[in-house]
Amino acid sequence: MTRCIALSGGVGGAKLALGLSKFLSPDELLIVANTGDDFEHLGLTICPDIDTLLYTLAAIANPETGWGRADESWKTMKALETIGGETWFRLGDRDLALHLTRKQQLSSGKTLSDTIANIAESIGLKHPVVPMSDQPVRTMVRTDIGELPFQEYFVKNQCVPKVTGFQFAGVNDAKPNPLLMDALRDPRLEAVIICPSNPFISIDPILAIPGLREDLRARSAPIIAVSPIIGNRALKGPAAKMLRELGFDTSAAAIADHYGDLLQGFVIDSQDKDLANKLETKSRRVHATNTVMKSLEDRVTLARETFAFASQIQTPQTV
Ligand code: FO1
């Protein structure tokens, strides 16, 4: 019985997903990962957001970067450099073991979901982390220097080019993950939580899967987003820069506007509590609390509050 679906990107989303996993059982929580960041590199299929979720939930994530593995070494990257290989995207030795295993399983005909489930089991993970779709979707970033595949924009160009828009290549042929569809049909579903991830590059690729927005709206469980913007900045990543370049305010209000009437609940940081009245509408409740997740306790507290907030919200289907 799925009580909660979490839609997540990488680092920020994984922190909240970890918090949810501390009080919801593996049967009660489904974590759905963005795969728009995925790409083919050095002959491997790299899935950054899925891997960040797996490593974070298994408590083996690199604490400095938030992505990649803890206790990492870089011998392969060094060796690659000496033979003139591509090293702009850093794959640690231990992390490579995961990429090799995934590639092998994908090459033998397994779906991305199957490979992730196998890897999750091998690292002792109990909570299900599923890709948004088994069909490849690749985020393309439109910029002032042309259209760039996501990781070329993000890592190779360090998010410097000015963003003018996004395209999710392949999304029209993508089907939502079957476990997500099952969870959406579960009458015991209490909340869909949009984690504090970048709306443009982490959540929009999920919401762009044909039919999914409508399926989300059709549920009686409220959809609640946690703002990734506090004050006028993002704690991590280029969300504030993207908002600015696309001509929006850099505030939690712009995030609420972005999701629009998809949301019945919006969680903002206490620093932004003065925005609460302005953002609250007939169909959208607002809750202000500490959303900065430094410690595990912060993650669990925010996750608990967000999940509890859902029970106070009536959706159009329940009134
Ligand atoms: N981010 C970087 O800024 N530089 C890297 O070299 C890099 C390598 C990398 C390897 C595996 C992985 O799973 C993630 C990695 N990331 C790296 C993070 C990742 O590209 C982005 O944080 C996400 O795609 C944005 O959510």
Last residue of a domain, one of 150, 168, 186: 168
294 and 178 together in one domain: yes
Q: Are 13 and 160 in a shared domain?
A: no
Is residue 49 within 8 A of residue 11, CB to CB? The reply is no
Domain end point (choices 128, 150, 168): 168
Question: How much distance in Å is there from the Cα of 66 to the middle of ligand 1?
Answer: 9
Judge whether 88 lies within some domain.
yes
189 and 76, same structural domain? Answer: yes
The one-letter code for the residue type at 145 is I
128, 153, 168 - which closes a domain: 168
Coil vs helix vs strand at 115? helix
Q: List the residue whose alpha carbon is closest to atom 1 of ligand 1.
A: 155
Instruction: Give strand pairing partners of 266.
Output: 225, 286
Which residue, judged by its Cα, is nearest atom 9 of ligand 1?
90
CA–centroid distance, 309 to ligand 1, in Å, is 32
Residue 248 lies inside a defined structural domain of this protein: yes
**Pocket of ligand 1 contains residue 10 by CB under 6 Å:** yes
- Are 64 and 45 found together in one domain? yes
The answer as to whether 100 is a domain residue is yes
With a 6 Å cutoff on the Cβ, whether 159 touches ligand 1 is no
| Beta carbon of 239 within 6 Å of any ligand 1 atom | no
Say yes or no: 161 and 269 in one domain.
Answer: no
Residues 200 and 152 occupy one common structural domain? no
* 316 assigned to some structural domain: no
Q: Is the CB of 89 under 6 A from ligand 1?
A: yes
* 26 bridge partner residues: none
Distance CA 144, CA 178 (A): 38
The tokens for 203 are: 């959540």
CA-CA distance, 315 to 319, in Å (whole number)?
6
Q: Which helix (H) or strand (E) holds 229?
A: strand 229-230
The verdict on residue 317 lying in a domain is no
Strand partners, 191: 4
Listed residue (53, 50, 59, 57) closest to 21, CA to CA: 57
The answer to whether 30 and 4 are in contact (CB under 8 A) is yes
Same domain, 161 and 274: no
Contact 114, 105 (CB under 8 A): yes
Report the Cα 268 to chain-centroid distance in Å: 18
143 and 43 share one domain: no
Backbone angles phi, psi at 263, to 5 degrees: -90, 140
Each residue of 195-223: pLDDT tens digit?
999 999 999 999 999 999 999 999 989 99
d(CA 294, CA 299): 8
Q: Token pair of 248, please?
A: 């929006």
Q: Count of domains in the chain?
A: 2
Report if residue 235 sits inside a domain.
yes
Looking at residue 91, its amino acid is L
* CA dihedral sign of residues 306, 307, 308, 312: positive
Give yes or no: residues 206 and 147 share one domain: no
pLDDT at res. 66: 87
The domain containing residue 154 runs over which residues?
Answer: 138-168
Q: Are 149 and 116 in a shared domain?
A: no
For residue 80, is it within any domain?
yes
- The tokens describing 244, both together, are 């600015």
307 assigned to some structural domain: yes
Whether 127 and 21 have beta carbons less than 8 Å apart is answered as: yes
Same domain membership, residue 286 and residue 210: yes
Pairing verdict, β 146-149 and 129-131: unpaired
Q: Whose CA is nearest to atom 23 of ligand 1?
A: 48
The CATH number for 76's domain is: 3.40.50.10680
Per-residue tens of pLDDT for the chain, all 319 residues: 999 999 999 999 999 999 999 999 999 999 999 999 999 999 999 999 999 999 999 999 999 888 999 999 999 999 999 999 999 999 999 999 999 999 999 999 999 999 999 999 999 999 999 999 999 999 999 999 999 999 999 999 999 999 999 999 999 999 999 999 999 999 999 999 999 999 999 999 999 999 999 999 999 899 999 999 999 999 889 999 999 999 999 999 999 999 999 999 999 999 999 999 999 999 999 999 999 999 999 999 999 999 999 999 977 655 5
Check if 151 has its Cβ closer than 6 Å to any atom of ligand 1.
Answer: yes
Task: Quote the pTM value.
Answer: 0.97
Cα–Cα dist 216/99, whole Å: 32
State whether 86 and 200 are in the same domain.
yes
